[in-house]
Each structure stands twice: as C-alpha cells, then as structure tokens.
Amino acid sequence: MESAEIARRFLRFFEERGHKIVPSASLIAEDPTLLLVNAGMVPFKPYFLGQRKPPASRLATAQKCVRTPDIEEVGKTTRHATFFQMLGNFSIGDYFKAEVIPFAWELLTRSESDGGFGFPEDRLWATVYHDDDEAYDLWRNRVGLPEERIQRRGLEDNYWHMGVAGPGGPCSEIYYDRGAEYGKEGGPVADEDRYLEVWNLVFMQYQLSQVRSKVDFDVDGELPSKNIDTGMGLERMATILQGVDNLYEIDTTYKILDRAAELTKTRYGRDHRADVSLRVVADHVRTGTMLVADGVLPGNEGRGYVLRRILRRTVRNLRLLGSGDDRYMHELTDVAINVMGEQYPELKADAPQIHGIIDAEEASFLGTLRTGTAIFDVAVEETKRRSATTLPGEQAFKLHDTYGFPIDLTLEMAAEHGLTVDEEGFRRLMKEQRQAAKADAAAKKTGNADISVFGQLLEASGKVEFLGYDQTEADTNVAGIIADGVPVPVAGAGSSVEVVLARTPFYAEGGGQLADQGVIRTSGAEVEVVDVQSPLAGLVVHRGKVRKGELRVGDEAQAEIDVERRRAISRSHSATHLVHRGFKNALGETAAQAGSENSPGRFRFDFTASGAVPQSVLRDVEDEVNAVLINDLQVNAFYTSQAEARAMGALAMFGEKYGDEVRVVEIGDYSRELCGGTHVHSSGQLGLVKVLGEQSVGAGVRRVEALVGIDAFRFLARESVLVAQLTEQLKARREELPERIDGIVTRLRTAEKELEKLRSAQVLQVAGDLAAQARDLHGVSVVTHRAPDGTGADDLRKLALDVRGRFPADRPAVIVIAGAPSDRPVVVAAVNEAGRERGLKAGQLVGVAAKALGGGGGGKDDVAQGGGTRPEATGDALRLVEQAVADQVSR
C-alpha cells in the first residue's frame, strides 16, 4: 500500500466519523518558539490551550514535520530521519478514551478491501500508563485484547505533556509485532525493534503546572474539557504495509535513494559507508524539497540555516558517492516532487521555483566544497602527523572565514577521521575577527598583497586616471609593480604581477561589469592583462603575466584593451539597464536590482520579486526591450549631484553606496540609472536581446539570464535549425508543431497504457499452465513461480489469486509468485481454504520468502505480500517456501 493511499484511508475513516479534515499546515511554524513544525499536534496547540476556536470539535490531518536534533545520525541508522508525516485525529472537548481506542482498533484491523489497514489482530499489542485502569479496561473488555498483550508503563514512556505548563495526560501506544526474526519475545517492554510503535493515543485530561522535566511536574487538577491527540507515523506505517525493513525502503524514500544510486553508479546494500550516504541523500532531498515548497530559503540563520545545512549535507554525500562536480540535485529533487506530489499537488505546480532554489544552492556549495575539502584534508593530515586528536580552532576558522566551509560540516568531517575540533577557539576567532572579515570582503579582490601595500602605492602615485570611457588605448607609465605580495622595482619574463599605471583605459571590475583584458607594452617588456581590480578607491591594479622582457617601475608604456571584448561587455551592460527598466514597468517599482554580471555577449540580472515571474511577463519584457533597440535610442552619460539624479528618477542599485557626485547613464527617455560602467553609443548597437529564463537565487530574489548581440542571433539560429529539423521530421508547418507534438505525446501515452494492459493480460495467460504444473507435496498442490522482471506487484497478486482459483475447493493449494518490479523483489502468497485447514498460512509463507529476500512482509492467512532488497535471492526464497510447506504438511 503506497504512502498516499495510507493517508487517504486514514483521513477517509475519520471523515466518515464526523471529523473535519484539516490540510497539513506549513512547515514554517506559527509558534514563535519553534523554527519548524516538529510534531503533528503543533498546529493544534492553540485549540488545546484555548487560545483559538477550532473549526470543529473533531479534526483529522496528515501533517508534515521536520526534526533535526539528531541530524548527524541520519543515514548511520535506519531509524533516524528529518522529514516525516504524522497522521492524527483530534477531539477538542468531544469524545475521549471510550471512543478513540475502538476507533484505532477498527481502522488498524479492518480488512484492506473494506478500507482498513488489515493488521492481524494477534500481532497487535497495547501499552497504557501504569495506573490508567480506564484505558486498560477498554483494551481488555471493549476491544477484547488479551491481557498478556496489554502492558503498563511509567511516566517516561506513557505520559505526554508539552514540556511547559498546560494540558497533559497519560497515553496508550499501539505496537505491531514484526516477528521473531526481529528480536526477542516479551512485548514492547522487552524489545521495541521487534515490537514497532504504530500509533500513540494521548488523553489530555489534566492541567499541569511547574513542569520541570519529562517525569517531574505538578498536576493542578482535571481539565474542564478533555481532549484527544493521536499520532500515527505515516512512514512507519508504510514500512509495515509495504513489507520492508525500514523507512528508507518505502515508496517515498527508496525511489530517491535508488535514483541516487543509479546516478552515482552505486548499489545499495553492498557497502556500509555508501549505504549511509545514500540514506542521507534520500532523506535530505525529500526534506529539502518540502522545506523549499513551504517557502523556506537557504540562509545563514534560523530555518534558512536548517535548509542550507540539509542541502549541503546532501551535496557532500553525493560527492562521497563519487558524483564529483556533477550536479544531481535537479534530478533527485524531481524524483522527490513526483513521489510526494500525489499527497501534495502544489509540489508539481511549484516545481520550477523549487528547482531554482535548490539548484542555485547546489552550484554555490560545489564551489565551496572543491576548495574547502582540499584545505580540510591538509589540516587533518597535519593534525595526525603531530599525533594530535583535535583540529585547531584556527584551521576551522580559516575554513569558515576564507573558504565558506560551515563549522558543523567541519565538525562532522573531523569526526569521520576520529578527530574533534577546538570549537572554543573557533568561536573566539569568529568574535575577534568579524569586523576584519567584513572589511576584507568589502575590499574586492585584494590579491595576495597586504592591503597596506596598495595604500602605499596610492599615496605614492596618486589617484589613477581612468580614460576608458573615451579611449581603448592610452600612453602612460608604470607607477608600481607588485609580485608575490610585495612591491618590486622590476619583474622578469614569466612573473605574475600586479601593475599600477598612472593612467589607464582598462575598466576595473565593478558594478556587475567584468574587467577588461588586454596588453601593456613598454620598450622592453610585454604584460598580458587578465584581470583588473580596484582594491582601494582611486587605485586600479592590472593583474597578469610578463610574457617577455623586463618590466620596470617608471617605464613609459602603452596600455591597450581587447576592444571586441569591451564592446561585447558594454552591450551586455546597456542591455541590463533596459531589462531593469522593463521589469519595473511589468512588475512595479518593487522589482529592484539586486545584483548583475555583464559578460561578453551574455548577462545575468538579479532583482527583487515575491515569486516566480510568469513566462508571459518574460516575453513581454523581452519584446519591450527589443522595441527600444529598433528605435535606436541615444545613450548619454553625465555627472551630477546624487540629489539631482534621484530627483530625475535615476535608478540606483539597492544597498550600493554612492558619493555626492554620481554618473548617470540615460538610454533615451526609457532608462536612467546611476552607473560607473561602460556602454554602447546607441541602443541599436545591441542588435538583439534574448531572455533565456529566470530562477530564484535567494530569499525574494530572482535571476534572469539573457544573451545580447551576435550571441543572441546564434542562439536563435540554432533554435531555428532545431525547428526546421522538427518540421522536416514531422512533415508539419512551424505553427503546427506544438499541436503535432502534443498529439504524438498523447498517442505515446495511450500506447503505453495499452502495452501495460497487454503485459498484464500476458502475465495472467500463464495461470492455466502454472496450475497444471503444480507439484504435489503430501497432498498439497504447490505452485512457485518467478514472474518476468518488471511485473508489477498488483499483477503478481492477480496472478496468484487466479492460479489459486483454478484448484478444486477440496484440494489444498499454495501459490507463491515472486517478481522484481523496479529491481526490488516482491513476493505474493495465496492459500485456499482447504490449504488453510492443513495449517498453511499465506502470511507465514511470505515471511519465509521475504526474509530470504532481505526484507519482510505479512498479511492474512489467505493472501499476503512481502518484499526485500535482494532480487538475486528469488530462487532460494521460492525453494525455502516449498520446504516450509513440506515441513508443515508432513507433521
């Protein structure tokens, strides 16, 4: 039974009993004391506390939850997870123990065909609080549970409260006995691995005060209105009903795990370390997807940090599995959206936004990992070489401050090497150097030189004159040379240098515009310039390599930029201004620029927005901008006061600091911005702007990427070729392509459905032959059969029942059919009434087969289903079933 069906049955059962179904609340908790909803009853606390009127006195829900206190244990065991779903029914001053206990029993034990979960009654146990005679009596006399399967427990296990003053009371827990292969006998008090808790019924009947601990509190008296709060873990129920060993093998988790294994060319179950990483990935991808869908964005504090930590742990574990720099999060998130989408349709509707956020975080962290992991490995090696067991706080701080490595990741990785981290030293350095770190970040790219060196150069040479608005080359002289972080008078061929010129046409990276590249020549040397920065206001530093000769301070020089590169970058910069204005026109003035990068022929533009921008808006903005290009508006730049510029309506980048005098760039009457970058002379020089798409890059920030000029033409040319190929292949006009392709896809889906029907029919065709070939074991007809790979579980079940129906009623018959849909073995057993009279039970036989397959299963005596993780053991499993039948009937 799939997870979505489990939830449907639960909610339908209680809806039929007068409960109002409440959709899952967001994972972002309303409770200010919680970052995230961590229990199914959290959204209902205001009702229990009398702070808010409930929508009805009877409520039921399937609530999303996230818990992260044990995040380091996720994957190491098969019991820990971060995301889970809690099914619950609630009574606010309505029914109490006498109603809720029979409700629970009925739903659990009612047959699957009647809408229940089909639990065998003899597999269920109950626990009650040690002096709760009322609950004990209801289990014993109302439900009829044998007294040996009702156990009394103390405050630690069977009493519930919120941890603060408020309602509380005893609880009764229901357990499922998974069988002797899972542990020792004796009920839940003896072994909670074998006896798995499936449902907790909380009886809120007392007002508590002075709550000091789980077991230490004061009871003021009974509540005037008694309440019921129950919780059934959906994932735990799925584990049992799907016949698997743990929550990582259920439908909504295993599909993610399986895809991760496929992408990383790993196989689950072969290597413990790889298994841990696969489990981390499966759990965290699902959790991250659900958090993003509820509006959580990666960040450095609060719930944003929880999400960032989860996503980064995922990426790191993919790398441990061998992903390298490949980006797999998009595909894995897609699997998570599909497996959870039946319960939460909004996931599919919001898929683009979810992908955008997660993809951006993955890309960012992959860069961090590449650098940080190498530095970390060196630090570990050095620590072990000194025979030490603690990674110095200075190393942890360097990883965090310089390479962006999160401290919790450092702690986790150190633990994997058997090391601890000097956390106290790390915290101290963080506090001491916070301001220094901010200052260093502000001084963009100071290279390997101490910033004081640049200060000395600026003082000695004075402010560098920038000529690049009007000139692409200039006569100048060498004012300073830095090599290996220190000033030098001369640098020879092959040296990496930072050169300061008295005057320069080179544009230093800033305002989103990439730096110029080019060459500096003197009579005796040539320097290839690959980057230009301004580490201090007024100073321009040219970075490059001396290709030939010797460069000397004081030399006369000629500086020449790469003109084609500059023109391409300038086109991108002007296009960014136009797109900025276009989005403001389309979305309103709140669409403010939040960053940009202007590259040759390509640009990206970040802007504030509350949500995804519809494709129709992107098309409208693109059309509007290209209309401006056709009109060939003049581009003008001039200096004025900041006050005057703002009075003119000039746009400024949010968060950017400007001086009293500012440079304004106008593109006709369409766009006016404060800008220090280089631009085209008229809008027609851009040629064409092609918007490629948009995505989220952070909380309330969207990013548009676009092509400009010849790059845009080339893109459209490739698109045109593709369309031409499609028109040729499909023999259709261009305007007919969408309809024609839609028709092909529809026919393909119809054909797939027909093929599925044919395949199912073919499976059932062998029923007669199987019945005819049955083996006789001491008067019992036994059929064991391995179905072709890919045969679905439903088809296996239909085949087993079909074969069983072909035997006479008085002829004992056992049918066991096994298959491996999606590489995961499933086994179905069916026993007719005559076979059951001989002591044969389908549930027991499935258990024998499932154990051999590395899994578990169960069901009724007449038909049962199980599964496992070892398809290669199918033959052995079927032979063991035959042996079990022979042993039973030969007694």
Q: What is the DSSP letter of 115?
A: T
H helices, E strands: number in the chain:
26, 35
> Do the beta carbons of residue 849 and residue 881 sit within 8 Å?
yes
- Sequence-distant (6+) residues with CB within 8 A of 363 are 327
573 is in an annotated binding site: yes
C-alpha separations of 89 from 127, 197, 773 in Å: 19, 17, 50
Q: What's the Cα-to-Cα distance from 303 to each of 162, 306, 385, rounded to whole Å?
A: 21, 5, 39
675 labelled ligand-binding: yes
Find out whether 778 is annotated in a ligand binding site.
no
Q: Is 708 within 8 Å of 575 (Cβ atoms)?
A: yes
State the burial class of residue 417 (Cβ atoms within 10 Å of its Cβ: 0-12, 13-18, 19+).
Answer: middle
SS3 (DSSP) at 356 = helix
Exposed e or buried b per residue across 585-594, where buried means at least 16 C-beta atoms within 10 angstroms of its C-beta: ebbeeebbbb
Name the strand (E) or helix (H) holding 745.
helix 737-765
**From the CB of residue 469, how many other CB atoms can be counted at a distance below 10 Å?**
13
Degrees (nearest 5) of the Cα angle 800, 803, 807?
Answer: 135
State how far the Cα of 237 lies from the Cα of 247, in Å rounded to an integer.
9
Query: Going by C-beta distance under 8 Å and a sequence separation of 6 or more, which residues neighbour residue 241?
Result: 1, 6, 117, 118
Q: Report CA Rg, the chain.
A: 35
- Structure-token pair, residue 276: 């841990």
Q: What CA–CA distance (Å, rounded) separates 556 from 524?
A: 10
Q: Give the residue ranges of DSSP H helices in 766-873.
A: 767-772, 793-805, 833-837, 842-852
Give me the sign of the Cα torsion angle 541, 545, 546, 547.
Answer: negative
- Which residues are documented as binding site for Zn(2+)? 573, 577, 675, 679
- Which residues are documented as binding site? 573, 577, 675, 679
